[in-house]
Amino acid sequence: MPLTKREFNKSLLGLASLLATSGLMEEIMANPAFATETKTKEETMPFTLPSLPFAENALEPYMSAKTFSFHHGKHHKAYVDNLNKLIAGTDMEKASLEEIIKATTKDSTKQGIFNNSAQVWNHTFFWNSMKPNGGGKPSGNLAKKIDSDFGSLDKFKEDFKTAATTQFGSGWAWLVSDGGKLKIIKTANADLPLAHGQKALLTCDVWEHAYYLDYQNRRPDFVSTFLDKLVNWDFAAKNLG
């Protein structure tokens, strides 16, 4: 005689209870045949938010953990999330960040992709341009190049600060290698040396959200602190090669 629906459901509940109390359920689920691979939404995206190369509070008192919670945790993450949305379902899903930047830099129809990909790259580069107990003086070949191309470290700092403080509105100040010569440039918004065939050595973010929580409107103080207390000369030297 066939079971009624009620009797069938009651039997299933009884079986589930038996398996749970006997420990058989754990053994069954541990069997590879029942294993399922689950991934978070972030893990399935082409790009993920890079971790900071230091703890959020590692640059205090010069840059606060609160600044990093917003600048890295919100601004940088938003660029990553936006980029993933913009390239979803396109051939750029499998491209590297640099390839995306180069492919979109002069294409006005892909301005949104360029802006977000460049800002993901720029911010990652900026974090690495700083380190705890930074500042001081460069050494080795980088020090020699700064002396030969700018005259002195002090002259380099003066010129870099001028570029950073005179960048109107949002943007970046960069130390770059261009044709074997070191130069200081400034770029607006998301623009970056990669889009102009230049090699970036270090950068300072002068968008207001980079410094406003700690320095309010005092951009010159922020740039001076970056150069004197935060700049990662080892990173710049590694980029110079």
pLDDT tens across 13-44, in order?
A: 554 454 444 444 444 344 444 344 444 444 55
- What would the CATH number be for the domain defined by 140-240? 3.55.40.20
Average pLDDT score over residue span 158-166: 98
pTM of the model: 0.82
- Within this chain, domains 64-128 and 140-240 share the same CATH topology: no
Average pLDDT score over residue span 179-186: 97
Q: What is the Cα–Cα distance from 178 to 129, expressed in whole angstroms?
A: 18
Instruction: Show the CA angle centred on residue 117, arms to residues 135 and 232, nearest 5°.
Output: 10
Average pLDDT score over residue span 36-56: 74
pLDDT tens digits along 101-152: 999 999 999 999 999 999 999 999 999 999 999 999 999 999 999 999 999 9
Q: Domain map of the chain by residue range?
A: 64-128, 140-240
pLDDT band at 2 (very low <50, low <70, confident <90, very high): low
pLDDT of residue 27: 44
- 64-128 folds as Helix Hairpins (1.10.287)
pLDDT of residue 7: 55
